[in-house]
Amino acid sequence: MTKILYGNIIAKKIRNQINKKVLCMKKKGQRPPHLATILVGNNSVSMTYVNNKIKDCENVGFKSSFLHLPNTITEKKLIKIIKDLNKDTLLDGLIIQLPLPKNINKENIIIAIDPDKDVDGFHPLNIGKMTMGIKTFIPATPLGILTLLNYYKINTQGKHIVIIGRSRIVGMPISILMAMKRSPGNSTVTLTHSYTQEIAYHTRKADIIITALGVPKFLKSNMIKKSALLIDVGISRVKDSTNTKGYKLLGDVDFDNVYNKVSSITPVPGGIGPITRSMLLKNTLIAVQKRKK
Amino acid sequence: MTKILYGNIIAKKIRNQINKKVLCMKKKGQRPPHLATILVGNNSVSMTYVNNKIKDCENVGFKSSFLHLPNTITEKKLIKIIKDLNKDTLLDGLIIQLPLPKNINKENIIIAIDPDKDVDGFHPLNIGKMTMGIKTFIPATPLGILTLLNYYKINTQGKHIVIIGRSRIVGMPISILMAMKRSPGNSTVTLTHSYTQEIAYHTRKADIIITALGVPKFLKSNMIKKSALLIDVGISRVKDSTNTKGYKLLGDVDFDNVYNKVSSITPVPGGIGPITRSMLLKNTLIAVQKRKK
């Protein structure tokens, strides 16, 4: 029977754990963890993400600050704001919502963040540490995948994992992590992407598939082997007039089509998405511990 | 007909180019590039490597400094020495010969090096930048492989590359680089290692195999597909009484066994080894340019 790997259950447990820790901190007279989010411009999807992050903070008792900056801000001014926030000893985590306007160099902005406050795990120093297996912030989505694998006690050692998509925030880091000498990890990893000649040729051989492509219902039954385990990171909004919101969320996997062939599968929504959201909170708590050291 | 991809030819050209640049610098009244090497203890293989590096520097007109420290040195003292060298404005590149004695934490030492002098490309900030596609020092062996692929105009785009070995200095970085949106790169990459269930299962499917295992003659004809391209990074010393040195160097590939089946192959010795050596010089020259900025 196919096992559905729910992420929302795990996310709820993590939020509860974090909430307990925050209550404990407050009891001891300590201030709660504090996350600041910077948003440049008025991208509506970005706004939704930022609002969710603020809501998530409130739900677990974190303090959250929100800096909404105009589209016209210069790179220099933005870096100045970041450097000031870096110095703020009452701030633990700092994230810049991406994408940024085109006149701003994303790399320069990410590098300006204090690596010890970089709870997104996007700073090159943190990516380098992650790659070297040194304890550090791991970006939320890969960390969410590791957490899900851990929770469901999925053995990845020696398994062949095929990853679809090589983005800096999902495909690339999870490919590095899963190939490393760690648990979960120790897998044989194939990283496929837009230049791969035939993605199905690779996915058909995989014990585990992690897809982060953003193409709804891309992965069909004829592209996987029997009893494969599927982790669906893709989330696409597709118009749906029967839904009150006017849209529905679809993953990269054609869920109904593959359901009877797979051993386990993460749903969309309710799979990797909610765990990913809770990982930002977890990283902010790690930042607090880093500051205490 | 099988093409042998000689690395020593490329290395010679690179050394000549570097030598010309150094002569040009000296003509302009500038000091030559300066590389310092630290060796802790008396490991004989390490000694050979360090001696080669010093010789390579002399051959192209670089200044080289050698600090030979006792096995008994503490981590704290070693870090102090590194921090002093970091401040030396007359020094461009600084490398610490590995392995280090067990009482010294390798990570702490690597992190202590100024990333702008880290011509080995081992500092996490540089590894992170490399992973993000930001211009930085790339470790010598992966950079040597890229240089070889470039020199022989080998098209890697969309090709399936299987890598054997996940070391921090070869397998891991080259797997990241070859999967990236770059040239050479844009390949579908499978990273195999000691936990891979059957390496041959993967290598048999590969268009290109990069092997960095250190097991002499590991890769045989029945483990590869026809017309594969083989890049042999493995170098093992094997006893050989017929040789005046008492040993011979063997790669991971059983050269004679695969020769008629492959399209192209790097020899051992004379393949990746000599290019790798010249890449340290190239990185030191990049460090000079970084300092000028």
Nearest to A179 among B124, B166, B187 (CB): B166
- Residue A130: which pLDDT band, with cuts at 50, 70 and 90? very high
- Asked if the C-beta of B105 comes within 8 angstroms of chain A's C-beta atoms, the answer is no
The answer to whether position B290 is within a domain reads no
B158, with CB counted inside 10 A (0-12, 13-18, 19+), is middle
Q: Classify residue B160: in a domain, yes or no.
A: yes
Interface test with B, best of A159, A163, A190 (most B CBs within 10 A): A190
For residues B233 and B269, what is the distance between their CA atoms, to the nearest angstrom?
10
Q: Just list the catalytic residues of B.
A: 53, 97, 120
Provide mean pLDDT across the span A39-43.
96
For residue A29, is pLDDT > 80? Answer: yes
Residue A22 near residue A32, CB atoms below 8 Å: yes
Mutate to test the interface with B, among A116, A120, A122, A127 (most CBs of B within 10 A): A127
- Which residues make Cβ contacts (< 8 Å) with residue B38, sequence separation at least 6? B67, B69, B78, B81, B82, B94, B95, B96, B97
Residues A144 and A264 in one domain: yes
Mean pLDDT for A158-181 is 98
Find chain B residues with C-beta within 8 A of A168's C-beta: 132
End-to-end Cα distance, chain A: 47
Both B45 and B108 in one domain: the answer is yes
Nearest to B196 among A127, A188, A192 (CB): A188
Q: What is the CATH number of the domain that holds A205?
A: 3.40.50.720
- The verdict on a CB contact (< 8 Å) between B196 and A158 is yes
φ/ψ (deg, to 5) at A184: -65, 150
State the pLDDT at residue A231: 98
> Is residue B132 a part of any domain in this protein?
no
Measured distance CA(B107)–CA(A278) in Å, rounded? 30
For residues B150 and B82, state if they share a domain: no
Supply the mean pLDDT for chain A: 97
Q: Residue B290 has what pLDDT? A: 86
Question: Which three-class secondary structure state does DSSP give residue A66?
Answer: strand
Does residue A135 fall inside a structural domain?
Answer: no
Task: Write out the H or E segment, with its range, that includes residue A107.
Answer: helix A106-112
Q: Residue B215 has which token pair?
A: 């097991």
CA distance A28 to A45: 38
Which stretch of DSSP H or E encloses residue A279?
helix A272-292
What is the mean pLDDT of the segment spanning A137-161? 98
pLDDT of residue A108: 97
Residue A91 sits in a domain of what CATH number?
3.40.50.10860
How many angstroms separate the CA atoms of B278 and B280, rounded? 5
Cβ within 8 Å, pair A192-B187: no
Q: How would residue B233 be classed by pLDDT, with cut points 50, 70 and 90? A: very high
Q: Please report the beta strands in A176-235, taking only residues with DSSP state E, as ranges in sequence order.
A: 188-192, 208-211, 229-232
pLDDT confidence of residue A292:
79
Task: Please report the pLDDT score of residue B281 as a whole number.
Answer: 98
From the list A124, A134, A195, the residue facing B107 with the nearest CB is: A134
Q: What pTM was estimated for this model as a whole?
A: 0.97
Question: Does residue B195 contact residue B216 with C-beta atoms inside 8 Å?
Answer: no
Per-residue pLDDT of B87-101, as tens digits, reads 999 999 999 999 999
Sort out which chain B residues have CB atoms less than 8 A from A196's CB and list them: 158, 188
First to last CA, chain B: 47
Q: Angle at CA B186, nearest 5°, toward A213 and A253? A: 15
A177: closest chain B residue by CA: B172
DSSP structure class, residue B2: P
In this complex, is the C-beta atom of A157 within 8 Å of any C-beta atom belonging to chain B?
Answer: yes
Query: Catalytic site residues of A?
Result: 53, 97, 120
Does residue A135 sit at the B interface (CB-CB below 8 Å)?
no
Q: Which of B123, B132, B204 best tests the A interface by mutation, with the highest count of A CBs <10 A?
A: B132
Per cent of chain B over pLDDT 90 is 97
DSSP letters for B232-263: E---EEEE-TTSTTSEEEE-SB-HHHHTTT-S
In angstroms, what separates the C-alpha of A159 from chain B's closest C-alpha?
A: 7
Q: Do B195 and A176 touch (CB under 8 A)?
A: no
Interface check B175 vs A, CB under 8 A: yes
Checking phi first, is residue B34 left (phi over 0); if not, alpha (psi -120 to 50) or beta?
A: beta
Test the B interface: residue of A182, A193, A209 with most B CBs within 10 Å: A193
Q: Are residues B89 and B150 in the same domain?
A: no
Per residue in A76-108, is it b (16+ CB within 10 Å) or e — as a string?
eebbeebeebbeeeebbbbbbbbebbeebebee
In a domain, A1, yes or no: no
Q: Is the peptide bond before B269 cis (omega within 30 degrees of 0)?
A: yes
Q: What are phi and psi of A272, to 5 degrees?
A: -70, -35
In a domain, residue A282? The reply is no
CB-CB neighbours of A143 under 10 Å? 23
Q: Average pLDDT, stretch B111-129?
A: 98
Q: At B291, is the pLDDT very low, low, confident or very high (cuts 50, 70, 90)?
A: confident
- 31-90 in B: which are within 8 Å (CB) of A? none
Q: Which of B61, B52, B60 is nearest to B15 (CA)?
A: B60
Q: How far is B196 from chain A (nearest CA, A)?
A: 5
- Which among B100, B116, B132 is the end of a domain? B116
Same domain, A42 and A105: yes
* A202 in the same domain as A79: no
User: Which pLDDT belongs to residue A290?
Assistant: 86
The answer to whether position A150 is within a domain reads yes
Residue B67 pLDDT exceeds 90: yes
* DSSP letter (8 states) at residue A237: E
Tabulate helix, strand, coil % of chain A (nearest 5): 40, 15, 40
Average pLDDT of span B211-224: 98
Measured between CA atoms, how close is B158 to chain A, in angstroms?
5
User: CB–CB of B129 and A129 under 8 A?
Assistant: no
Does A179 lie at the interface with B, CB-CB under 8 angstroms? Answer: yes
CB atoms A132 and B190 under 8 Å: no
The verdict on B108 touching A (C-beta cutoff 8 Å) is no
> Domain range holding B192?
140-273
The C-alpha atoms of residue B167 and residue B145 are separated, in whole angstroms, by 15
Q: pLDDT tens across B47-66, in order?
A: 999 999 999 999 999 999 99
Question: Which of B75, B100, B116 is where one domain is finished?
Answer: B116
The secondary structure element, H or E, covering residue B265 is strand B264-265
Q: Is the pLDDT confidence value at A57 over 90?
A: yes
Rounded to whole angstroms, the Cα distance separating B139 from A120 reads 26
Asked if residues A7 and A141 have their Cβ atoms less than 8 Å apart, the reply is no
Q: Per-residue pLDDT for B293 more than 80?
A: no
Chain B within 8 Å of A134 (Cβ-Cβ)? yes
- B86 and B40 in one domain? yes
Contact B35, B22 (CB under 8 A): no
- The H or E element that residue A129 is part of is helix A124-132
Same domain? For A144 and A268 the reply is yes
Asked if B125 lies within 8 A of A128 by C-beta distance, the reply is yes
The predicted structure's pLDDT at residue A142: 98
Task: Tell me B46's DSSP state.
Answer: H
Residues of B in contact with A126 (CB under 8 A): 128
Q: How confident is the model at residue A291 (pLDDT cuts 50, 70, 90)?
A: confident
How many domains would you assign to chain A?
2
- Residues of B whose CB is below 8 A from A209: none
Taking the Cβ of residue B181 and every Cβ of chain A, the question of whether any pair is shorter than 8 Å is answered with: yes
Decide if B60 is inside a domain: yes
* B-chain residue closest to A128, CA distance: B128
Residue B120 has pLDDT above 90, yes or no: yes
pLDDT in tens, B142-200: 999 999 999 999 999 999 999 999 999 999 999 999 999 999 999 999 999 999 999 99
Q: What is the mean pLDDT of residues A126-135?
A: 97
Tokens 């058909």: give the residue.
Answer: A204
Instruction: In whole angstroms, give the CA distance from residue A36 to residue A57.
Output: 10
The verdict on B222 and B100 lying in the same domain is no
Does A253 share its domain with A148? yes
Residues B112 and B176 in one domain: no
Q: Does B124 touch chain A (CB under 8 A)?
A: yes
Dihedral, CA of residue A254, residue A255, residue A260 and residue A261, to nearest 10: 50
Q: Do A188 and B195 touch (CB under 8 A)?
A: yes
Q: Do residues B99 and B146 both lie within one domain?
A: no
pLDDT in tens, A183-237: 999 999 999 999 999 999 999 999 999 999 999 999 999 999 999 999 999 999 9
